[in-house]
Amino acid sequence: MGEFSIWHWLIVLLVVALLFGGGKVSGLMGDVAKGIKEFKKNMADEAKPAEGVAPAAAATLAPPAQTPAGAGDGVIHRA
């Protein structure tokens, strides 16, 4: 009772095709394909390293400088 056979899926697909029409379904699939292609393109662009990094930009990519001992421990030190 809980399983769907191939006939159930064919009937569901037929009802969807009748409700939405063939043109709308194929257009929707085309839009999904374009979205996937754009996603892959953007992921590939992010994976490429930046070329010609300016010196100012390179300085922002450097690791942070060391802080004095006790400066970031959350304890208030009084002199």
Q: Which residue carries 């400066």 as its tokens? A: 71
Q: What is the pLDDT of residue 24?
A: 77
Please indicate whether residue 19 or residue 54 has the higher confidence score (pLDDT).
Answer: 19
Model pLDDT for residues 21-68, shown as the tens digit of each residue: 777 777 888 899 999 999 999 998 887 765 655 555 555 555 556 656
Q: Any residues with CB less than 8 A from the CB of 70 and at least 6 apart, and which?
A: 77
Please indicate whether residue 44 or residue 3 has the higher confidence score (pLDDT).
Answer: 44
Q: What is the mean pLDDT of residues 62-78?
A: 60
